[in-house]
Amino acid sequence: MRKFVIILLSFILLTPTCGMFSDEISFLVLSQKNKYHLGVAKQLKHTIIEQSLNLDDGTKPNIYLSHEVFEKSNSWAIVPILIDILNQLITPQTKWLLLCEANSVINLRKLLQRLSEEDEKQAVYLGYPLYDREATIIHHFAFFRNPSEFKYPFLKAGVAFSIPLLNRLVDRLLLSSTKHIVLPKAPTDFTIDPAHELALFIWNVDKNLILKPVPYLCSHHGPECAIYAREENIFCGNPISLDKVLFAVKTCEKYHKERLPLLLQTWARFTIHLRIFSDALDETIPTIATGVLNTEHGHCEKSMKILRMVLEEIQRNSTLKNIEFIVLADDDTLLSISSLSEYLGCFDKREYIYLGERYGYDLFSDDSGYSYITGGGGIVFDVKTIRKLVNSCSCASPSSPDDMIIASCLKSLEIEPIHSSLFHQARSKDYAPEILSRNAISFHKFWQIDPLEIYEWWFRKRDEEYYELNKQVLSDYKYLKNSCVTPSTTNNKIENKISHNVKHVEL
């Protein structure tokens, strides 16, 4: 009885210190299963809970991690889970659904204050507005006459949905599923940029439903921010040395003269183990012939053959015994070998690594859809994933799309793609500048850009430094382990090196 009175009293006496109670927002964090990304998401959840304890408003915020509440692996595409969101995450007292990413930084007090000043009865969504500077392939060239007119939210800055808006969207989805009315969605079955596709879906439901920009959902840290987007951390203190990574480039004879020189002048200079696979052998580059005829599109057979050949060489060539990761790249992929090496050090080696930029195919259907790592931005595998892949997958036809076949096969082996926004299937100018990180790992396509200039601007300096650092460490390592070197020459080399170093110091 006394307890009841206390609860009743506290209920009456408590007014929200920030204009709203913590439990009037449902947080949905777009999360991933792998240990590294899960750790970041859990940390965010923890800081929100901690902040709510300090608010002392007697309520607990509802924080959901998407991969925990939704079993389907299509939740990252957002639109396919709107119905589930409404059914599972919204309670009678919820006023806002706050969608964000693991790398969103949240100030709960400010967020409650600012959202309490908004009209939650209106069908509305609030966020940081991104827009395309020019029509871009990643958005299917939408609004190509005036691409900047269409605003879509920066998910990492947080997006707040009112419940009336969610209801309207779900009504529309249900209508199309019962009455067979075509769903207003992206022009293809592919999911590329969920934020853009979500905004387009909403706009297609009703042209008056446009993103409302608010100053407290920010692309960068600032005093007015209730939420701001933080760059994905690549520095986990455990960078992978370059002798553990094999870079496999996929090319064909037509591009030997046009593209390969550009690769060899840029990131390929800073690799230790590089293999260039082509339909034609050219010892001057050198390329390795796959024996698979080139196809205009798809390349499934070629890629599978490359992975098989890489695996075989790893087993045969003892110099490759340290290899842990294989990067499959196109001949027009620009990579940062330093950012990649740092980032790979963030992952748990016991997990299957299948990493890059995630796209989706047919994610609205329950069974046939899947997510895949898109090839142009580079696909990173660890050796055990390749072994599984090579042992259990084959191409439907030589020209099936390689990246998609790889994914659908890995899905059957229960290996899911690990997404990173640091990999890019398109050129840097295809993305809104706010979302590009200075720790970007890849860009793709040499169309209407100068690849040398792009590499210089984004990657060159740090790659060079990282390579030099690795070379110093690894050269010692190499000749101590190398059985071909006789002890006396080893000693000479060491002495030379020491005297060289001393000279260096004297200078």
Question: Which residues lie near ligand NAG (CB under 6 A)?
Answer: 273, 317, 319-320
Beta strands 418-419 and 354-356, pairing class: parallel
**Residue 273: CB minimum distance to ligand NAG, A:** 4
- Which tokens sit at 436? 């590009």
**Residue 272: CB minimum distance to ligand NAG, A:** 7
- Could you identify the residue written with the tokens 């260096």? 504
Query: Cα 506 to chain center, whole Å?
Result: 47
CB atoms under 10 Å from CB of 219, counted, come to 18
CB atoms under 10 Å from CB of 350, counted, come to 8
**Residue 496: CB minimum distance to ligand NAG, A:** 23
**Residue 282: CB minimum distance to ligand NAG, A:** 16
Q: Is the dihedral of CA 18, 23, 28, 33 positive or negative?
A: positive
Strand blocks (E) in 253-388: 273-278, 288-289, 325-330, 333-335, 354-356, 358-361, 370-373, 379-382
**Residue 275: CB minimum distance to ligand NAG, A:** 8
* φ, ψ dihedrals at 133, nearest 5°: -75, -35
- Which tokens sit at 336? 């940062």
The residue among 234 and 314 lying less far from ligand NAG, judged by its C-beta, is 314
Helix (H) or strand (E) holding 417: none
Given a contact cutoff of 8 angstroms between Cβ atoms, the answer to whether 115 and 160 are in contact is yes
The residue among 42 and 478 lying less far from ligand NAG, judged by its C-beta, is 478
- Which tokens sit at 217? 């959902």
The residue among 320 and 436 lying less far from ligand NAG, judged by its C-beta, is 320
The residue among 317 and 490 lying less far from ligand NAG, judged by its C-beta, is 317
The residue among 322 and 371 lying less far from ligand NAG, judged by its C-beta, is 322
Given a contact cutoff of 8 angstroms between Cβ atoms, the answer to whether 356 and 378 are in contact is yes
- Could you identify the residue written with the tokens 């024996």? 291
Distances (CA, A) of 317 to 270, 322, 323, 461: 21, 11, 11, 31
Query: Cα 427 to chain center, whole Å?
Result: 15
Distances (CA, A) of 489 to 415, 481, 483, 498, 501: 47, 13, 12, 14, 18
**Residue 480: CB minimum distance to ligand NAG, A:** 17
The residue among 248 and 407 lying less far from ligand NAG, judged by its C-beta, is 248
The residue among 165 and 383 lying less far from ligand NAG, judged by its C-beta, is 383
**Residue 355: CB minimum distance to ligand NAG, A:** 22
**Residue 321: CB minimum distance to ligand NAG, A:** 10
**Residue 356: CB minimum distance to ligand NAG, A:** 23
**Residue 476: CB minimum distance to ligand NAG, A:** 17
Angle at alpha carbon of residue 363, lines to 362 and 368, rounded to 5°: 60
361 strand-pairing partners: 190, 370
How far, in Å, CA of 207 to CA of 201, rounded? 10
How far, in Å, CA of 199 to CA of 203, rounded? 6
**Residue 220: CB minimum distance to ligand NAG, A:** 42
Q: Which of 334, 358, 314, 168 is nearest to 267 (CA)?
A: 334
The residue among 275 and 387 lying less far from ligand NAG, judged by its C-beta, is 275
Given a contact cutoff of 8 angstroms between Cβ atoms, the answer to whether 463 and 267 are in contact is yes
The residue among 317 and 368 lying less far from ligand NAG, judged by its C-beta, is 317
The residue among 320 and 474 lying less far from ligand NAG, judged by its C-beta, is 320
The residue among 319 and 399 lying less far from ligand NAG, judged by its C-beta, is 319
Given a contact cutoff of 8 angstroms between Cβ atoms, the answer to whether 300 and 400 are in contact is yes
How far, in Å, CA of 428 to CA of 458, rounded? 10
* φ, ψ dihedrals at 361, nearest 5°: -125, 125
**Residue 248: CB minimum distance to ligand NAG, A:** 12
The residue among 317 and 392 lying less far from ligand NAG, judged by its C-beta, is 317
How far, in Å, CA of 347 to CA of 343, rounded? 8
**Residue 305: CB minimum distance to ligand NAG, A:** 17
Given a contact cutoff of 8 angstroms between Cβ atoms, the answer to whether 28 and 97 are in contact is yes
How much is the CA Rg of the chain, to the nearest whole Å? 26
The residue among 2 and 316 lying less far from ligand NAG, judged by its C-beta, is 316
